[in-house]
Structure 1
Amino acid sequence: MSRPPLPPATIIDVAAKAGVSKSTAARALARYGSVSAKTREAVQKAADELGYQPNALARSMITGRTKTIGVVIPDVGNHFFAVAMRGISTAAREAGYEVLLSSTEGDLALERRAVELLAGKRVDGIVVAPVSTEDTDHLERLEGQGIAVTLLDRPAPKVKAASFVSVDHVEASTLAVNHLIDLGHREIGIVTEALMPAGWKPDARQESKKLRPSAARLVGYVNALRGAGLRYRHEYVAWSAYAKASAYEATRRLVRDNPGLTAVYCTDSELSAGAFAALQDLKISCPKDMSLIGFDDQDWATLVRPRLTVVDQPSYQLGMAATEELLSTIGSAQDRRGDRTLSGRLIVRDSTARPPNTSDR
């Protein structure tokens, strides 16, 4: 007959084996309070030999921290968020934190529920890419609950105490379009998720951190045109939903309605894939007849022919930075909002070239 398993070791067992009091053992393992290095080492050795696993709930009652953070993102399958999540997890793990993840599918009601559940679990902080820039009362309440917040990639101006981490979408988009302009292109179309009215007049002074990514990238496109003395033309702007099929149709309409175009800029990798397929089906040679540049670098961009020129955003580093900002805020007595902005990087490949009927100068 097999022997019943031994009960798990307790903090009392660890204290007895190390020859210290229960409170000293607890402080040594939680790494707070005044405990000598020699005592801390003895307690840790006793815990290891006994196979002691600390009680997270009890530890949180002592320290006031659960050593967990929540992450709320709209789509875990989205390449940007998947890579950023790796960065978040790495930074959290290195700091001794666990991560609880929730994907909201871009649904505000699901985001509210996820935030409430995480708050109920008493996470120390939440990294969130908000669905809405305005409907953020559920995020605003977190400050009163002592829960730190970092906004990832998407602004929420009403959440005053939150940190904000993002790539400079205006700057990165300007970089992409300037590349086309430097090649000699003057008739440049754009496929974008940003839905703007026909009379919309972009303000070049608008900052990336105050705009949703799609709108910021459209502003960057306009800034590049203006910087080169080129006119912004609404008919050169093709709206697309975040889907390859939608971008495919948007690109076909853009090229059909504007035969003078020599280049197309897509403000997202998903849109780039649809545009790439559209040009192929229309028998438009890229880059001989039409240059194509995208935003965000994914594996497929180097597998197609021609390989796609892109402006890449440092998704992994953004995730790391979001966690670092969050952890620096946790437990801070100051009303602190730290904004961190990273830069995009131009990767020139084969899908961009000088426009047709242009001789080298």
Structure 2
Amino acid sequence: MTLAEECRELERMARVRGKAPTILDIAAEAGVSKSAVSRALSGQGEVSAATRDRVERAARKLGYVANAMARGLVASQTKTVGVLLRDVTRPFYAWLQTAMQRAAEDRGYQIVTATSAADLGVADALRALTTLVSLQVDGLVVSSARLPSEEIVPFIERVPIVVAGRRETSRGITSVFCDDADGGTMLAEHLLQLGHGRIAVVLTDRSYSLSQYARGIAMIEGVRAAGKTAVVWEAASDREAGQVITDQIDGSGVTAIMCPTDAAAVDALEVLRQRGESAPEHYTVTGYDGFGPLATPYLGLTTFRQPVEEIGRTSIDLLIDRIEGKTDQDRLVELRGSLVEGRTAGGVRRLP
């Protein structure tokens, strides 16, 4: 290329810089017609291999990205699923997102995720839902234990919705979940079988997490149904469990501490360490979740394992089936979790 040609090329690139390249720009770059570009990029219609190669090289050079929204408006589908996650820094939501991404890609869909690096509140979640709908997504997966059902219902006339991670009873919404009440009950029964009769339950506020609250209530009811004593330690969230345990443990007479999450159970173990105590030598400690780094056998938490990968995969499959018209029925899909008998729970070794 001569110096004059290089200058003209730089001038041409400067003109297109700052605006998104179009198929007209690609046609000019490749030296072909607009219709040839359209056929080559869409994969529809006949085009020679040489022309397709020229078009694709021109598109890469110009940084062309197809407008999925505009294309979706023509086809009545964008092949995009919106996903609302409460807090991707939490292991549950991170693992759930990974499972959903894989499932969507297997079905030929892409995911657009709205989340937060902290705790996504109700108002923020509603704004995120509105934004996802405005992006013309074909369907929505909502996974936020804090967002009330009545806030989701207004969206069901706009787009198919699946709620992942908790039971829904509102018409028009399919939900995929692990029964938190079942998990809480199983953990309580395990401690009762170990001989514990006075058990502390860290109960998070219902407005913070419907799921954590449900499993806590099940723990309390399971202990009391057996005629034993459940001591309720209320916490605004599971992240405050450590401080609540610190404030309540002295003089409580409990021999076991049931926590709403594995992260809270680790905080409980740290409280014991600072007191010169441990589990299960001084107190039994249980968590809830059972996946990710905190599920390592080295740590050995006694916990309840949620089938998070199956929840994510099933949520996406059911949503896409609804989008593609393969079903129009609402479903409640309850998946079974399992008790993990780790080493942080043992028989009673100290008197109340």
TM-score tier, shorter chain, comes to: 0.7 to 0.9
1:246-261 aligned within 5 A: 246-259=240-253, 261=254
Please name the residue that 2:227 is paired with.
230
Query: 1:141 deviation in Å?
Result: 3.0
Query: 1:125 deviation in Å?
Result: 0.6
Query: 1:47 deviation in Å?
Result: 8.8
Query: 1:169 deviation in Å?
Result: 0.8
1:1-361 aligned within 5 A: 1-2=5-6, 7=26, 12-13=35-36, 29=44, 49=53, 50-51=55-56, 55-103=67-115, 105-130=119-144, 131-136=146-151, 139-145=152-158, 147-155=159-167, 157-158=169-170, 160-194=171-205, 212-226=210-224, 229-233=226-230, 236-244=231-239, 246-259=240-253, 261-297=254-290, 298-300=292-294, 302=296, 307-332=300-325, 335-356=328-349
Relative to structure 1, the CA distance from residue 231 to residue 182 in structure 2 (aligned partners, 3 Å threshold; closer, same or farther) is: closer
Please name the residue that 1:32 is paired with.
none
TM-score after normalising by structure 2 = 0.78
**Helix, strand or coil: the match of 2:162?**
strand
Q: Which runs of 4+ in 1 moved over 3 A?
A: 1-6, 8-11, 14-17, 42-50, 52-55, 154-158, 300-305
Query: 1:226 deviation in Å?
Result: 5.0
In structure 2, the gaps of 5 or more residues are: 14-24, 60-64
Given that residues 194 and 218 in structure 1 are in contact (C-alpha distance below 8 angstroms), is that contact kept between their aligned partners in structure 2? no
In structure 1, the gaps of 5 or more residues are: 18-24, 30-38, 197-210
Q: Structure 1: which amino acid aligns with 2:214?
A: A
Query: 1:219 deviation in Å?
Result: 3.2
Spell out, residue by residue over 1:224-275, the C-alpha distance to the aligned partner (whole angstroms, 9 max, x if none).
3255x22454xx111123354x21222133422422x221111112221221
Query: 1:46 deviation in Å?
Result: 8.3
How many residues end up aligned between the 2 structures? 315
Q: Structure 1: which amino acid aligns with 2:244?
A: A
Name the CA distance, whole Å, in 2 between partners of 1:347 and 1:173. Answer: 12
Given that residues 108 and 132 in structure 1 are in contact (C-alpha distance below 8 angstroms), is that contact kept between their aligned partners in structure 2? yes
Name the CA distance, whole Å, in 2 between partners of 1:353 and 1:179. Answer: 10
Relative to structure 1, the CA distance from residue 123 to residue 252 in structure 2 (aligned partners, 3 Å threshold; closer, same or farther) is: same
Spell out, residue by residue over 1:310-360, the C-alpha distance to the aligned partner (whole angstroms, 9 max, x if none).
2121222211111112111114386421221112222222211111169xx
Question: Cα RMSD between the aligned structures?
Answer: 3.2
Relative to structure 1, the CA distance from residue 176 to residue 81 in structure 2 (aligned partners, 3 Å threshold; closer, same or farther) is: same
TM-score after normalising by structure 1 = 0.76
Name the CA distance, whole Å, in 2 between partners of 1:339 and 1:300. Answer: 29
Relative to structure 1, the CA distance from residue 254 to residue 144 in structure 2 (aligned partners, 3 Å threshold; closer, same or farther) is: same
Name the CA distance, whole Å, in 1 between partners of 2:281 and 2:307. Answer: 30
Name the CA distance, whole Å, in 2 between partners of 1:163 and 1:16. Answer: 39
Spell out, residue by residue over 1:95-128, the C-alpha distance to the aligned partner (whole angstroms, 9 max, x if none).
1111111115332222222111111111001111
Given that residues 260 and 288 in structure 2 are in contact (C-alpha distance below 8 angstroms), is that contact kept between their aligned partners in structure 1? yes
Given that residues 217 and 267 in structure 1 are in contact (C-alpha distance below 8 angstroms), is that contact kept between their aligned partners in structure 2? yes
Please name the residue that 2:22 is paired with.
none
